[in-house]
Each structure stands twice: as structure tokens, then as C-alpha cells.
């Protein structure tokens, strides 16, 4: 086992433990993007949540971790993309491009999410629905931020407000 594999395993386990320690149990989403709006497929769409950092926390401008979970209901598969946008002081939403390796998805086991998925009628929900994203380059100040959580053509949007400091 090489050093990279060991570090990766330690990272995944630490994310899992952080999720447990923070009491980040699966919580019902507050809003939905496209979920349920497909004719003939009321369950189609992404179910997701942003666990950490919670709304109205202070984060670092250089980089900060965002943790959450997400899955597409019909297939049960984990999300595969998270887009980040922030609102500038002119009220314009701007995309915040992230490095290719900033998102780690499909690696973090979330048994609480499997239970949640089964309870809402998504019986194929996989265990590795947790994700982590390193956000780089957020401008300083009080910022409204959206996270668009995707699986294929389906998304769910979560909005947070963060105080971004050095």
C-alpha cells in the first residue's frame, strides 16, 4: 500500500467521523431544483443537503471545506457534480470555478442517508452518498452562496450565507 492510498483512506475516514461528530444526520432538503417536475416520474431528481459549514458561519477566503450528501432517487446513485455561485455586491450571481479535483464524491459512507432514501421511496440509495468540496477563491465579505448539487440532468440548489475572512 503506497503513501497516497494511506492518505486517501485516512482522509475518507476523517470525513466520515467529522460527519458523525457534528451530528450531521440526513436532514430533509428545504427546497428543490428540478426534483418532481418530470412528467410521469414524480421521484426523478436529486435529494441532497449541505451539512457543513452551516448557514451564517465564518469561512476562510483561501479555502474551506463543504460537506454534504446527495443522490438521484430512481437510480440511487451518488451525486457527481457541485457548482458554486456567490452573489457580488451588485447583486449579480457569479460562478466560482473550482479545480477539477476539488470535489470528492461517491467515497464517503452515509448509512443515515440510505435510511432516509428508503423512507422517502428511493429504495436503491447507495451507501456512499457523502461528498466533500474544497472551495477556493471566495471573495472577502458577507456572501450569499449557492451550491447546485447534480446527478446527470437533475439538480437541487442550496443557499447559504457566509462571512468570508482571510
- Per-residue pLDDT at 159: 95
Which H helix or E strand runs over 147?
Answer: strand 141-151
Q: What is the mean pLDDT of the chain?
A: 82
- Per-residue pLDDT at 44: 79
pLDDT tens digits, one per residue of 77-90: 999 999 999 999 99
Which H helix or E strand runs over 10?
Answer: helix 3-21
Q: In whole angstroms, what is the distance from residue 162 CA to residue 1 CA?
A: 40
Mean pLDDT value of segment 112-137: 93
DSSP 101: G
pLDDT tens digits, one per residue of 17-62: 444 333 344 433 334 445 555 666 767 789 999 999 999 999 998 8
CB 148 within 8 A of CB 50: no
Higher pLDDT, 132 or 20: 132
| Domain architecture of the chain: domains with CATH | 3-165 (2.60.40.650)
**Least confident interval from 8-12, 107-111, 146-150, 160-164:** 8-12
- Per-residue pLDDT at 3: 62
Cell numbers for 164: 468570508
Q: In whole angstroms, what is the distance from residue 75 CA to residue 16 CA?
A: 23
CA distances from 19 to 24, 81, 106, 121, 139 (A): 5, 20, 15, 24, 27
Amino acid at each position: 500500500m503506497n503513501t497516497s492510498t494511506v492518505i486517501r483512506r485516512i482522509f475518507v475516514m476523517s470525513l466520515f467521523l467529522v460527519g458523525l461528530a457534528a451530528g450531521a444526520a440526513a436532514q430533509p432538503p428545504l427546497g428543490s431544483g428540478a426534483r418532481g417536475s418530470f412528467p410521469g416520474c414524480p421521484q426523478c431528481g436529486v435529494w441532497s443537503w449541505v451539512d457543513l459549514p452551516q448557514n451564517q458561519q465564518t469561512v476562510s477566503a483561501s479555502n474551506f471545506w463543504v460537506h454534504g450528501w446527495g443522490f438521484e432517487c430512481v437510480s440511487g446513485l451518488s451525486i457527481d457534480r457541485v457548482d458554486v455561485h456567490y452573489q457580488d455586491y451588485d447583486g449579480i450571481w457569479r460562478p466560482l470555478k473550482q479545480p477539477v479535483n476539488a470535489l470528492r464524491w461517491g467515497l464517503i459512507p452515509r448509512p443515515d442517508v440510505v435510511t432516509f432514501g428508503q423512507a422517502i421511496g428511493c429504495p436503491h440509495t447507495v451507501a456512499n452518498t457523502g461528498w466533500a468540496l474544497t472551495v477556493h477563491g471566495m471573495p472577502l465579505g458577507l456572501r450569499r452562496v449557492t451550491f447546485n448539487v447534480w446527478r446527470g440532468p437533475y439538480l437541487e440548489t442550496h443557499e447559504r450565507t457566509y462571512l468570508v475572512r482571510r
